[in-house]
Every structure is written in C-alpha cells, then in structure tokens.
Chain A
C-alpha cells in the first residue's frame, strides 16, 4: 500500500486514491478527421512502461482532484506529483541494474541477489 502525495492535500494513504491510468493523453479536438487507426491509438493503446511512467490519480476520498504522477512502475517509487496542466517535471531514477532493465526493488528474481563478488559457494 502506497503513501501518495496529493498536490492539493499532502501525503495520504493509497486507500483514499483512485488510479486513473496513463497521463498526457489529450482527447483529439477533431476526431472525425482521424483515421480508424489513429483513433484506435487514442482509445485503446497505452504505453504501460516498465520504469518511469506518467499516470493520473484521483484523490477520490479527499479533494476529488485529478493530478499527475511520475512513478517508477518497476519499484513503485513515486518520483513526482504535479497538477493537471503543469508540465511534466524532469526526474531521474536509479539506472537499470540488469541488461533487461531490472532494478533493485523491483522484486524480480534477477535482482533478488546482488551480483556475486565472493567467488563460489559451498557444496
């Protein structure tokens, strides 16, 4: 369970919030001029990034405001929260630990154990 900082109310328990999916997807202003494929891109396609992901949350049991957050989806670390309409802040997360992008904290097998620097183990 996360602690999420609402940009209007401050740090609150996750139970007060509702997830509202990927951020910065603006509704097209002239849908009729769009091809089926472009429209489908807007309606159905989401990045679902493993790593830093811009997503929306709503303080559902609080001020009921939507806001944006940058979360590292591999480690669940919230790197920034900002109001709707504000530009996405620049953030940096710890670099990937393995070639496939696994980071310490992701709970993935590849990073459960630190790289062996001690030679072999016993038999």
Chain B
C-alpha cells in the first residue's frame, strides 16, 4: 500500500481520524472517511481509472461529481456488483472493491487498445456503414463489437438488496443544496412552508465546499460554520425534509418529480442498517419548485485533450479544498475565461508548480494577471495548447500562439502532470428543460439558460446563469420566498450572509468551441465517454446530418451514461460552426429523464418477486394449493389450472379430470367469474340494450346466456344473467373482462342513458362459486342442500333456485359450461372455503374430482362453447361465430347497426368452425394458419384462417380444434390443411363446433 503522497497536510471535509482501506484494479489503497473513490485515488497520484468505450483509450478523472464523463468502474462482485459507477460519486468504505471495466486483461494492458490504432477507420457512422452493408454481416460482427465496445457487465444473479419508494407532497421543493438552494430553503422554511431539499452529494454546501477555507467568510465565519448553522436550522424545523445523496432524476408534468436517494451505498456492508433499504425513489408532488442545480464547467476541445491528468479547473479546486488532495505536482491551466485562473492560484498555494496559464484571449482580467505575476506564474495570453504527451498520464504540454482561427508561432513545451481546463460554464438546465421550459441562448455566457417557465418553478443562482456568489445567495433567497408566496404563504427573502475575504469574481469569457490545431485531423475529443471527436461531428454535417438530433445519433455525442453533461454545449458550438448557423438556430438535443442513470432496483422498489404483480386468490385458494394445484394467472386472479396427484404428470391429471366430469362428478372453482348486481325499474330495458338477444320477457327464476358487442359490432364479452326479480338481475361476465364490462355499462348509464333507473354493483368478490358437473351431480346437490329438489326434470336447465346448506343460504343455478348436467352453487364468499370442503366431503362417495381451468377449456370445447378472447379477437361478430340465433331482429342494441355494414356483411368473412385431424392423435397448434392446398405453395400463401382452440379430448378419444376459417360455415366436410413449421401441412376436415353432438349422431 502506497502512502497518500498527494494529500494535503490539513483541511478538507474528510475525517482524518478514520482511515478507510479499499482496493482498485486489484491493488490496495487507503483513504479517509469522506473521500470519494476519485479523491482517494488522486491522493495516491492515480489518474487513470478507465478505458474509453470505443477506442479503449486511457481515461482519467475529469470532473468531481456526476458530470464526470468516463470514470466508470464496477463496485463489488457477484450479485452485489454495481457496474458503471462513477469514481467521482462513489464514497469509499472499508473493504470497497472497485474493478475496472471495458478492458481486458487489465486496465494497464488492454488488448482492445488496437481499436485505437484502427481509429481512422472507426469514423462516425462506422457501424451503420459497415454492418448494414451485405445482409447477414452484422450478425457476424455483432458479438465481436459487443465484446470490445461496451460498459460494465450486469450481474446475472437476482439483486439481494431491498429498495423502497416514497410518495410525498410538499409546498416547495428545492433542488440543489448549494448557496442559492440553501437560501431558498431558508426563506421558504421560515415562511412556514413544507419543504423538501434535495442535494446530490453527501453534504450541503455546493461550491462553498470548493473554496479555500476562510475565503470567503460568511457572517464573519468560515463557510463550514455558516453551513453548520444552516444545517442546524433546517434540521430543527419539522416541516423540512433534507435529503442528501439524493439526485432529482426526473421533472414531469404538473410538478411531479422523481428523486433517487442512495441510502446505504456509502456504507460498508457490515455498517448498513438492515431496516433501511439500499436506495429509495421519492415520488414528489410539489406545489412550487426552486431549481438551484448550479452550473457545470465544460472543457476546451483541443488536440490530445483526453489524456488522464487533464481535468476541469473546477474539479481541481474541489479536490484541493473539499478533499484536501493536490491532483498534480506541476500544472498547466488552459482556459478561455477568468474563472479558471483561481485554480492556478489555489494549486500554487497548495505547493504545486504552475508551469503556465494558457489563455486563448488577448487579455484577461488585469487583477488576475497581476496576481499571477505576484505568484511567479508564467502567463501566455492569446495562446493555445497544440499537443499533449504522456502515455497513461499527462507529462507535458506543447503551446503556441493563437492567430484567431489558426495556430501561431510555437511557444514551447511545458511540463505538467495535471492540466486544469475551462471552456466556460453551462447552467445546468436539464431539469428546467425537462419541465418543458424554454431555453434562451445567452451570448455573454456562451451557453443556454432558462428563458420562459412553463410549470410552477423558478431557477436561481448558477442554474439561472447568475455566477457570482453574492448574487447567487440573494437570488436563492428571493426565489425561495417567491415560491413560498406562490404556494400560499406570506414570505420574505432570508437575509443573505455578509461576505468578506472574497476573491474577486471576474467572469469574462471568449467562446471558442474548438481550439485551432496544426494538424489536419487533430485528436480533439468532444465526448470523452463515447470517443466522439470534432472530426466525427464535421463528417456528420458533411454527410448531410443537419439537425442536431440527427448529428447526435449518428456520432453518439452525448449518448453515454453521462448524457453529455460536459460535452453537449461544445458539440452544439462545433455543429453551429460546421453548419455556419448561430447556435440558437442549431438548438440543443433534448434533456430527458433520468438526469443520470438510476438502478432498476430503485425504480422497481418493492414491486419484485411475489409483489411484482400481486395476484388474487379465491376463498378456496388454500385448498387448491394444498391439493396439488398448478396455478395460472387469469386477469388478476390465480386459478387452479390442474390438480396433480402424486406421481401424476400434467397431461395425465388433465385427462383424468376431463373424464370424471362426464362420467362421475367434477367440481370447478368458478368464483373468479365476474358478477354484477343490476337493480332498478329499468334494469330489464338496460339489459335489452346491451345484449344482442331479447330480455324483456325473462321471468324471475330464469337465466339466459347473452353476448355483448362493442358499437363496432364485435363480440366483447359473454355470460349468463339471471332474473332475480323484475327489477333485479345477477349478471356474470368473463373472469378477465369483469372490470372492463362494469365500466362499459357504467359509461352507457351515466353518459348515454342517464334517464334509466338502473344501479350496478360489482359483486364478484361477494360470491364464491362451486360449479358441480357430471351425471351424478344431482345426487350430490340433493345430499348437500337442506331444501332443494335438484331433479333436472323439475329444476329445469337455465333456471335458478334459492336453497340452504346447513342453514346457510345459497343460490343454485342450473347452468352449464360443459354441456353436462351442472349446478353452480353460489354462496357468500366468507363461506366459500367451507362450501368447498362440504362439497368435497359429500362428493367423496360419488368419486368427486376437482378440475381446473384447463379441463374446463377442454370440456367446453367438446361442446363447442366459445371463450371470448380465445376464439374471438375483436374482429368477430356473432354471425362470424355462426350464432345468428342470439341476434334479435327488431330492437336496437349496442353494436347492432355495425352488423349491417358492408364489411360485416362480406360473404368471405372468417367464421368459427370445428376442425378434426385425419389422425386422431395429432393435436393442432393453436394459432396455426390454415391453407387450402396439401403442400405449401410459393409465397405469398393465401391464409384461410387460423386455429383458435385445440385440445386432445379424452371423452371423444381424439383431438379437436376450433378455428376461424374464411366462409367457414359453407365449408362443412371440406378438407383443408394446417400449416406447420417443420413438416408437411396437416390435413383436417371442417366440422360443426359441437363435437359431442357430432359424435352422438355418428353413433346413431
């Protein structure tokens, strides 16, 4: 383990009393609590942390936060591995293991660096041009490309961590805990508003943490003391929620905001509170929002600008003061503006040798020039960096004079192991733009800034293009007060702290989107993560990509995990130059949510595993589970599909269940069927309008099957409805359609026929249903019920009776979905499990067999009964089902007019028929296409229809199928063919759909 040679002897927001050991690239390092991985590595002089996406060029630490483009590593191994983590954001803890990505076999020796030698061939659009060429070639190249170009590897194991989601309302949401955000929070909180303050990093303070201690002072105290008092005031206010390590990742409609809190990631696994989740997603609805998201420094784009050691000037200051690390021993500052000069002065005061300040401008602020002279720093005005050297770390810099857009005379070579670069500041308008606010290009800032707000938000401080510290504090206070006022509170701006010992804050800048170069093709990178060079952007324009959105996609500028936070503004400037248009006319790409990559775990929250989609069970669910049920989801329900006996496979169980329902007794849990209680004096009229058949004369005690259509005439749902009394009906719907049908009926009642006196109540959950089926079912019902004669002669088919079982009231319906003698016993749901046990006990002597939904499907298909959604698909009318008998002639019903449209009257419409195969053991595949010829003709092949249901029927001892076939009704006994993937088409004969009846007739 090496010593922390680059650590300053004192200062910083680190806890020198707590040493932290971690490893990176297999080597062991030591840092302090409060360090990020980046600051701890820099303390050891480690600059190179990654390899780039495409060319595998060495990548160093460029920024000091979420703006860093390419410093991505994997944290941990196995199921806990967290790929693509930014070294500049990950806080270190004891035992942390950081593993480099996108390099093989190691970070220092990466064989894919060959890509770099090939880079002249890998220009913009390389993949499109090469691999979209001859057919099939992409398939050949893809695995190689995927292997060599890429990010971290996603763990294959299930995520062992817990995540949480929180919903919260607030009066004022302040985003950003820098000077402006803190003043906004103080102002709003003092007005009594309920506020949430989100800070992305580990502590509040923002830029105040990146200034030298004591310069400036706030209210006569160092910044840290002022921050302590602010923290204390906010913490003491119960209406303030202060969230650190929390990034607002999305700004959506109507001030709906998503924030992502890293609760435990900064702690060693052993120190994590097992009661707390690893991360939280906050879903916040804010009355008013203050955007105090600061500004992001952008680099200059020059030849050789991607070497490790070349950092943003602001990041250099953050490492110096927040983390007490000197990023290098000798430094060059390269800038187009005044703000970066402070980095040179701070570095010099920390003991680094400044070999030069290189400023592209002819003149800088005179105060700065004087101060540089006092510190003996060589200053080169109107000069540019033309080249850099150093293989894995910067070693020297070549500079030359500048002649507007060309390079002037060589000046010489400066030694440097770190270069602080600044191309100016870009207000961080990502969230503002997500809120759909309009941006405005500001020539003085050479950047976009918030123009016109659309939602209830206001930007303050650097995010608003206001860069001076004093101005930021004041603007933040005003914004916080205005937000609180808008949220209904009487508020006034908190008094900003008095600033003293301030460095001057000159902010002069000369925009220069690309530094002139002596080379024809300089290696000047715009996007350091995706390896996009100036030449790629120019090539894109040359090849006709004139829209900024197209040029972005063609070159992949800003498409990495950093979303081009430091790259985009430069790219827009370069595109504007190449297109010879002003920047506002070129525009920006779209700022999209999320602001930075979130974990899928945080997005999923607790909705994983069994709670991913909670399923409903019937009152009898436990019985099914204890008796070998294999479940299937139907709508939101879990239904027993089949009950497997020990040693039995699925098919054997299914065959047994199907048989017993026709030879002895079967019982099905039909509780999931949708049930709607319909009351009111116009209930009958209502039913007559929503069903295709007639309902006006259905007497109490009787049931009727009905089909429901949409206004387009297509079958929407079906079910049996019973008349309880003249003004009271009990409707059943399909299991999956229950909610849809209720809403559909409500729609007509509320909006089309408000004059009808009808009331609908969903009673699906109030009734449990045991459907008893089979020749011996009457005996069972007789044994069960206290007061019901189930004799099918007197208790007629399609009627219902009130009865009692051990005194408990039940409704028994003589209806059938199998064609077999059936009784459906409906009981109050709380008695459902009791009823089921009762049925099983009473049925035992008769050999009762519970059957699941799969047997139900087979049994109903044997009888030719349809299942809406399986044998219909939204393009099927009652006539297509050849159920003409169910369509009444004289009165209107929903969808009736559509049945006489020219399209629904076409003679070649597909109609439902039965299909039987020549070989009775061949079961057709559901969905298989039907053709008219014994062999497949050359495409295009005329498809006559497709198989909708297909089973092996044990009762008929042969396979059966239902199908929608063109003019099917006129094709009885015709031979058709069912296409299959491997093998000749299967010959089939068209039949009626009631296979039981067909078999009976054949038997004579």
21 pairs from A and B in contact (CB 8 Å cutoff): A31-B892, A32-B892, A39-B897, A40-B901, A43-B898, A75-B454, A76-B253, A76-B254, A84-B751, A105-B436, A107-B436, A111-B438, A112-B588, A113-B440, A113-B448, A113-B587, A116-B441, A118-B584, A119-B582, A120-B582, A123-B573
Give a binary string over A9-33; 1 marks a CB under 8 Å from any B CB, 0 the rest. Answer: 0000100001010000011100110
A76: nearest residue on chain B (CB-CB)?
A: B253
Residues of B within 8 A of A (CB): 252-254, 256, 285, 405, 433, 436-443, 446, 448, 451-452, 454-455, 510-513, 549, 573, 576-577, 582-588, 590, 711-712, 743, 746-747, 750-752, 754, 892, 896-898, 901-902
Give Cα A119–Cα B584 distance, bound, in whole angstroms: 9
Report the minimum CB–CB distance from A71 to chain B (whole Å): 11
Q: Which of A107, A114, A121 contacts B439 (CB 8 A)?
A: A114
- Residue A93, interface by CB 8 Å: no
Please pick, from B441, B451, B754, B902, the residue contacting A85 in the complex, using a CB distance under 8 A.
B754
Contacts of A32 in B (CB 8 A): 892, 896-897
A104 x B452 contact (CB < 8 A): yes
B254 and A84 within 8 A (CB): no
Q: Are B902 and A44 in contact (CB under 8 A)?
A: no
CB nearest to A38 among chain B residues: B897
Q: How far is the CA of A120 from the CA of B550 in the complex (A)?
A: 22
A116 to B752, CA, bound (A): 51
Distance in angstroms from A44 CB to nearest chain B CB is 7
Residues of A contacting B438 in the complex (Cβ-Cβ under 8 angstroms): 104, 111-114
Contact of A3 with B577 in the complex, beta carbons under 8 Å: no
Knowing A66-B751, A113-B441, A122-B512, the reply to whether A1 touches B252 (Cβ < 8 A) is: yes
Could you give, for residues 64-94 of chain A, a 1 whenever the CB lies within 8 Å of some chain B CB and a 0 otherwise? 1110000000011000000011000000000
Query: Which of A60, A66, A122 is close to B513, meaning CB atoms less than 8 Å apart?
Result: A122
Partner of A42, one of B256, B451, B513, B711: B711
> Given the known A-B contacts A34-B897, A104-B438, are A122 and B254 also in contact in the complex, defined by CB atoms under 8 Å?
no
Task: Give the chain A neighbours of B454 by CB distance below 8 A.
Answer: 75, 104-105
Docked pose: A66 CA to B754 CA in angstroms: 12
Closest Cβ–Cβ distance, residue A25 to chain B (whole Å):
9
Interface of A, helix, strand, loop or mixed by DSSP:
loop
Q: Which of A39, A75, A120, A123 gathers most chain B CB within 10 Å?
A: A123
Task: Give the chain A neighbours of B896 by CB distance below 8 A.
Answer: 31-32
Which of B448, B584, B590 has the most C-beta atoms of chain A within 10 angstroms of its own C-beta? B584
Contacts of B898 in A (CB 8 A): 39, 43
Q: Which residues of A contact B439 (CB under 8 A)?
A: 112-114
Cα-based distance from A57 to B582 in the complex (angstroms): 45
| Residue pair A31, B582 in contact (C-beta under 8 Å) | no
Question: How far, in whole Å, are A107 and B513 apart by their CA atoms in the complex?
Answer: 27
Contact at A116–B584, with CB atoms within 8 Å?
yes
Given contacts A43-B711, A109-B549, A123-B513, contact A1 B256 (CB under 8 A): yes
The CA of A50 and the CA of B586, in the complex, are separated in Å by 26
Nearest Cβ distance between residue A78 and chain B, in whole angstroms? 9
Residue of A nearest to B584 (CB): A116
**Separation in Å of the B4 CB from the closest CB of chain A?**
41
CA distance A64 to B285 in the complex (A): 24
What residues on B are CB-neighbors of A20 within 8 Å?
A: 747
Query: Which of B252, B256, B750 gathers most chain A CB within 10 Å?
Result: B750
A-chain residues with CB within 8 Å of residue B583 when the two chains form the complex: 120-122
Contacts of A1 in B (CB 8 A): 252-254, 256
Shortest CB distance A6–B (Å): 13
Contact between B443 and A122, CB atoms less than 8 A apart: yes
CB neighbours (8 Å) of A105 from chain B are 436, 454-455
Q: For the complex, what is the distance from the CA of A116 to the CA of B443, rounded to whole Å?
A: 10
Set of chain A residues within 8 Å of B754, measured between Cβ atoms: 84-85
Indicate which residue in B254, B446, B584, B743 contacts A113 across the interface (CB closer than 8 Å). Answer: B584
Question: Bound state CA distance, A66 and B743, in angstroms?
Answer: 10
Chain B's closest residue to A40 (CB) is B901
- What is the CA–CA distance of A93 and B573 in the complex, to the nearest angstrom? 35
When distances are taken between beta carbons in the complex, the residues of chain A under 8 Å from B437 are 104
Closest 5 A/B residue pairs (Cβ): A122-B511, A121-B583, A31-B897, A105-B454, A116-B584
**Do B254 and A58 have beta carbons less than 8 Å apart?**
no
B743 and A58 contacting across the interface, CB-CB below 8 Å = yes
Q: How far is the CB of A104 from chain B (nearest CB, A)?
A: 5
List B contacts of A84 (CB < 8 A). 750-751, 754
Q: A105-B455, A121-B576 are in contact. List 8 more A-B contacts (CB 8 A).
A: A66-B747, A104-B452, A105-B436, A106-B436, A112-B438, A120-B582, A121-B446, A122-B512
Nearest CB of A to B743, in Å = 7
In the bound complex, what is the Cα–Cα distance between A2 and B285 (angstroms)?
Answer: 10
Q: Which of B443, B751, B752 contacts A118 (CB 8 A)?
A: B443
In angstroms, Cα B450 to Cα A112, docked, is 10
Question: In the complex the two chains form, what is the Cα distance from A109 to B455 in whole Å?
Answer: 18
- Return the chain A residue nearest B511 by Cβ: A122
Residues of B within 8 A of A112 (CB): 433, 438-439, 587-588, 590
Q: Which residues of A contact B751 (CB under 8 A)?
A: 56, 66, 84
